[in-house]
C-alpha cells in the first residue's frame, strides 16, 4: 500500500504543520465591502500575511467590489496602505508586487450591471491568472445586503461551480438579529449555495488558544476526570474590552453586546468547553458534538436575577477621560443598546447538570481580556482550620484566550514558614514562553481554511440558529425593560452584574 501525502492539512488533525505544506490551490477571492473597516484592518492584512508565508497560489487574485470609481492603481494603493498598517509579517516588496499584480477592482452597486462586470472580470482572470474558476466570495457587508448579493451571484451565474472548480461564500456576522431572521438568512444563502460551500466566520474559532481548548481537554488525562458537575462549581466566560464604540454607531446601535459577542464568540467558547469528545477530529464530528451541547443549553431563570446589562457612562480609561455611549458620535442619546451583557446558562446533560455557566462581555471595562475560568468546588473535607486557610479560594483552570495567551491553574499551597498556612498560588503556562512560533492571526487561518475547503472552524447554520434560540428569551426580556443600567467607563460593569453572582454566593474573577 502506498501512503499518499495530502497537499493540505487540517490543523486540528495534524499538529506539525511544518512538515506538510498547506498551500491553497489555484483560486481567487472577491471581497464585497472591501472599503469597510473589517476589510481594511483584518482581511487585507491577513491575505498579505498568507502570501508572505507562501500559502497562496502564484496566480492568487484579489478582487474588490464597491461603489467607488477606482482604477486598478487606486485599489492597489488602498490595499497597500491597509497591508502596511495592519500586516503581522514583515513588508516585502517582491511579495507585495506579486499580490498587487492580481489585485483588481470592480465598480458596482448590488445591481445587474455591477455583477455582469464582475462576472466578466472573473472569467478574464480565470484565463489570464489561472484562477481556474475557483472563487471565494467574502460578504463583508451589512446583513441587509446578503440577500441582494446572493441573488445577484446566482443570476449572473457566479454562484455555480463548474465540474472541476468550486465557488464558496464567506459570511460575516451578525448572522441575523434573532432566531427567526437567522433562519430566513440561512434560507436565502442556502437557496443559492449548498451548505458545504457556506463558511460563516466566527473569528474567535480561528484563535490559537481557542483551538487549544480541544487539545487541553482531549489530549490529556489530567482534566477530563474533573470536567463535570461532581467537581466543577461553575464556569465563567469573559470577553472584556477597554475600547469604546466611537465610530461604530452604524453597526452597533440596535445590536448591542449580547448579539455582537455572546451569540457567537461566547456561546462557541461554551460549546468547546462543554462538548463531549468527538469521535474523530473531522469537521462533521466536531460540529455534531457542538450541536448536541447547544441543543442542551438554555438560560437559567428568572432572568431578572440571572442576567445583567449596562451601558457605559463617562469615566476614565487608564489616565484618559472618556465619554459615555450616549455622547459617542452617531448614537441616539435615547439608545437602549447595551454595551455590557451578562447571562447565566445551564446545560441539561449528565455531565453539566446544576453547573452554571456565566457569560459576560462589555466595552470600556477595566482591561482587554478574554478568558474561560473553570472554577472547582471546595474539597469535601479540610483538615486545616479556617484560620489556616483564610487566603485559600476555589481551585481553577483558567484558559487565557488573549492577551498573554496561556493556561493558568490556581490551587492552594503551603506558605513557607513554621506555621501551617495554605494560600492560593498560580501555575502559569504561557504560549509566548513555551513556543517560539508566532500564532497566525485568526483571519489568516480562516481565510486559508476556506481556500482549502476545511470547514472545522466555521459554525454551521444549525449552530447559528441554536445560539439564537438560547439567547432570544434573554433579548426579549431585556427589550421589555427599557434602558440598561449605567456603569462608569473603566470599571467592571454595572452593579447588577455583581449582584447576579453574589446572589449565588459567587463573585466574578477580576482578570
Ligand atoms: C468582534 C466584535 O466580533 O470582535 C467587536 O464585533 C469586538 O465588537 C471584536 O471588538 C473583538 O475581537 P478581538 O479579536 O479583538 O477580541
pTM of the model: 0.93
Residue 168 maps to a domain:
yes
What is the best residue among 238, 254, 255, 261 to mutate for testing ligand 1's pocket, by most ligand atoms within 8 Å of CB? Answer: 261
Say what the pLDDT of residue 436 is: 81
Same-domain pairing of 390 and 347? yes
Q: Which of 104, 177, 265, 381 is catalytic?
A: 265
State the CATH number of the domain containing residue 233.
3.30.360.10
Residue 457 maps to a domain:
yes
Same-domain pairing of 302 and 223? yes
Is 435 a residue whose pLDDT tops 80?
A: yes
User: What number does the ligand 1 atom closest to the CA of 248 have?
Assistant: 8
State the CATH number of the domain containing residue 63.
3.40.50.720
Q: State the average pLDDT over residues 279-303.
A: 96
Is 196 annotated as a binding-site member? no
Is 332 annotated as a binding-site member? no
Residue 290 maps to a domain:
yes
Is 177 annotated as a binding-site member? no
Same-domain pairing of 160 and 218? no
Residue 184 maps to a domain:
no
Does the beta carbon of 172 lie inside 6 Å of ligand 1?
Answer: no
Nearest protein Cα to ligand 1, atom 8: 260
Same-domain pairing of 361 and 493? yes
Same-domain pairing of 24 and 144? yes
Say what the pLDDT of residue 4 is: 38
Whether residue 161 contacts residue 132, with contact meaning beta carbons closer than 8 Å, is answered with no
Final residue belonging to a domain, choices 116, 147, 172:
172
Tell me the three state secondary structure of residue 81.
Answer: helix
Helix (H) / strand (E) containing 119: helix 112-128
Show the cell assigned to 266: 461566547
Tell me the pLDDT tens digit for each residue of 190-237.
Answer: 999 999 999 999 999 999 899 899 999 999 999 999 999 999 999 999
Final residue belonging to a domain, choices 172, 187, 217:
172
What is the best residue among 46, 245, 255, 265 to mutate for testing ligand 1's pocket, by most ligand atoms within 8 Å of CB? Answer: 265
Q: Please state, in angstroms and rounded to a whole number, the distance separating the CA atoms of residues 179 and 2.
A: 49
Structural domain harbouring 138? 11-172
Does the beta carbon of 260 lie inside 6 Å of ligand 1?
Answer: yes
Say what the pLDDT of residue 8 is: 44
Residue 182 maps to a domain:
no
70 CA distance to ligand 1 centroid (A)? 29
Residue 179 maps to a domain:
no
Q: What is the secondary structure of 11-35 as a DSSP string? A: TTT-S-TTTS-----S-EEEEETTT
Tell me the pLDDT tens digit for each residue of 466-491.
Answer: 999 999 999 999 999 989 999 999 99
Residue 359 maps to a domain:
yes
Say what the pLDDT of residue 13 is: 44
**151 noted as active-site residue:** no
User: What number does the ligand 1 atom closest to the CA of 265 have?
Assistant: 3
Q: State the average pLDDT over residues 400-409.
A: 94
Is 203 annotated as a binding-site member? yes
Same-domain pairing of 232 and 84? no
Angle, in degrees to the nearest 10, between helices 267-274 and 283-295:
100
Partnered with residue 429 across adjacent β-strands are 407
How many other C-beta atoms are found inside a 10 Å radius of the C-beta of residue 99? Answer: 23
Does the beta carbon of 241 lie inside 6 Å of ligand 1?
Answer: yes
pLDDT band at 409 (very low <50, low <70, confident <90, very high): very high
130 CA distance to ligand 1 centroid (A)? 35
Say what the pLDDT of residue 445 is: 94
Same-domain pairing of 260 and 131? no
232 CA distance to ligand 1 centroid (A)? 29
Q: How many domains does the chain have?
A: 2
User: What number does the ligand 1 atom closest to the CA of 251 have?
Assistant: 6
Same-domain pairing of 339 and 486? yes
Say what the pLDDT of residue 345 is: 98
Same-domain pairing of 85 and 230? no
260 CA distance to ligand 1 centroid (A)? 8
Tell me the pLDDT tens digit for each residue of 324-354.
Answer: 999 999 888 899 999 999 999 999 999 999 9
Tell me the pLDDT tens digit for each residue of 1-37.
Answer: 333 333 444 444 444 455 444 899 999 999 999 999 9
Is 181 a residue whose pLDDT tops 80?
A: yes
Cα distances from 132 to residues 61, 125, 275, 452, 499, in angstroms, run 11, 8, 39, 15, 59
Same-domain pairing of 272 and 417? yes
Residue 289 maps to a domain:
yes
Tell me the pLDDT tens digit for each residue of 249-262.
Answer: 888 988 999 999 99
Q: State the average pLDDT over residues 49-73.
A: 95
Is 72 annotated as a binding-site member? no
**Sign of the four-CA dihedral 348, 343, 472, 144:** negative
Same-domain pairing of 348 and 438? yes
> For all residues of the chain together, what is the average pLDDT?
93
422 CA distance to ligand 1 centroid (A)? 39
Q: Please state, in angstroms and rounded to a whole number, the distance separating the CA atoms of residues 226 and 211.
A: 20
Same-domain pairing of 102 and 158? yes
Amino acid at each position: 500500500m502506498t501512503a499518499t501525502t495530502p497537499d493540505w492539512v487540517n490543523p486540528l488533525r495534524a499538529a506539525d504543520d511544518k512538515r506538510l505544506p498547506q498551500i491553497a490551490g489555484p483560486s481567487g477571492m472577491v471581497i464585497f465591502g472591501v472599503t469597510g473597516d473589517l476589510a481594511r484592518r483584518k482581511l487585507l492584512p491577513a491575505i498579505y500575511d498568507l502570501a508572505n508565508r507562501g500559502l497562496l497560489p502564484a496566480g492568487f487574485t484579489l478582487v474588490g467590489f464597491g461603489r467607488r470609481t477606482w482604477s486598478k492603481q487606486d485599489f492597489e494603493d488602498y490595499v497597500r496602505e491597509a497591508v502596511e498598517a495592519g500586516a503581522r509579517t514583515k513588508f516585502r516588496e517582491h511579495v507585495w508586487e506579486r499580490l498587487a499584480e492580481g489585485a483588481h477592482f470592480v465598480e458596482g452597486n448590488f445591481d445587474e450591471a455591477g455583477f455582469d462586470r464582475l462576472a466578466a472580470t472573473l472569467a478574464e482572470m480565470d484565463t489570464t491568472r489561472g484562477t481556474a474558476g475557483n472563487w471565494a466570495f467574502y460578504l463583508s457587508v451589512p446583513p441587509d445586503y446578503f440577500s441582494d448579493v446572493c441573488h445577484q451571484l446566482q443570476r449572473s451565474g457566479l454562484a455555480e461551480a463548474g465540474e472541476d472548480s468550486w465557488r464558496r461564500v464567506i459570511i460575516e456576522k451578525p448572522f441575523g438579529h434573532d432566531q427567526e431572521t437567522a433562519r430566513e438568512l440561512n434560507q436565502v444563502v442556502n437557496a443559492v449555495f449548498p451548505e458545504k460551500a457556506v463558511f460563516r466566520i466566527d473569528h474567535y474559532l480561528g484563535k490559537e488558544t481557542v483551538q487549544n481548548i480541544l487539545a487541553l481537554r482531549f489530549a490529556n488525562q489530567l482534566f477530563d476526570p474533573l470536567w463535570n458537575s461532581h467537581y466543577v462549581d461553575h464556569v465563567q466566560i469573559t470577553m472584556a474590552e477597554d475600547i469604546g464604540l466611537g465610530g461604530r454607531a452604524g453597526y452597533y446601535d440596535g445590536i448591542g453586546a449580547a448579539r455582537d459577542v455572546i451569540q457567537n464568540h461566547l456561546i462557541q467558547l461554551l460549546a468547546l468547553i462543554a462538548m463531549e469528545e468527538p469521535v474523530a477530529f473531522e469537521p462533521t464530528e466536531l460540529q455534531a458534538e457542538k450541536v448536541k451541547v447547544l441543543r442542551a443549553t438554555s438560560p437559567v431563570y428568572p432572568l431578572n436575577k440571572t442576567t445583567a446589562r449596562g451601558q457605559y457612562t463617562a469615566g476614565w480609561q487608564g489616565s484618559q477621560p472618556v465619554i459615555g455611549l450616549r455622547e459617542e458620535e452617531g448614537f441616539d442619546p435615547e439608545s437602549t443598546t447595551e454595551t455590557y451583557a451578562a447571562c447565566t446558562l445551564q446545560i441539561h446533560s449528565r455531565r453539566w447538570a446544576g453547573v452554571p455557566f456565566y457569560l459576560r462581555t462589555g466595552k470600556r471595562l477595566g482591561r482587554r481580556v478574554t478568558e474561560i475560568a473553570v472554577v472547582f468546588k471546595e474539597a469535601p473535607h479540610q483538615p486545616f482550620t479556617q484560620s489556616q486557610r483564610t487566603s485559600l479560594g476555589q481551585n481553577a483552570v483558567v484558559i487565557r484566550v488573549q492577551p498573554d495567551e496561556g493556561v493558568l491553574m490556581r490551587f492552594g499551597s503551603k506558605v513557607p514558614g513554621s506555621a501551617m498556612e495554605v494560600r492560593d498560588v498560580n501555575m502559569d503556562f504561557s504560549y509566548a514562553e513555551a513556543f517560539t512560533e508566532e500564532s497566525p492571526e485568526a483571519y489568516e487561518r480562516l481565510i486559508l481554511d476556506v481556500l482549502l475547503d476545511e470547514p472545522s472552524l466555521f459554525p454551521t447554520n444549525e449552530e447559528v440558529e441554536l445560539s439564537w434560540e438560547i439567547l432570544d428569551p434573554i433579548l426579549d426580556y431585556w427589550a421589555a425593560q427599557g434602558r440598561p443600567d449605567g456603569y462608569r467607563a473603566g470599571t467592571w460593569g454595572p452593579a447588577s452584574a455583581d449582584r447576579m453572582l453574589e446572589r449565588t454566593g459567587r463573585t466574578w474573577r477580576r482578570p
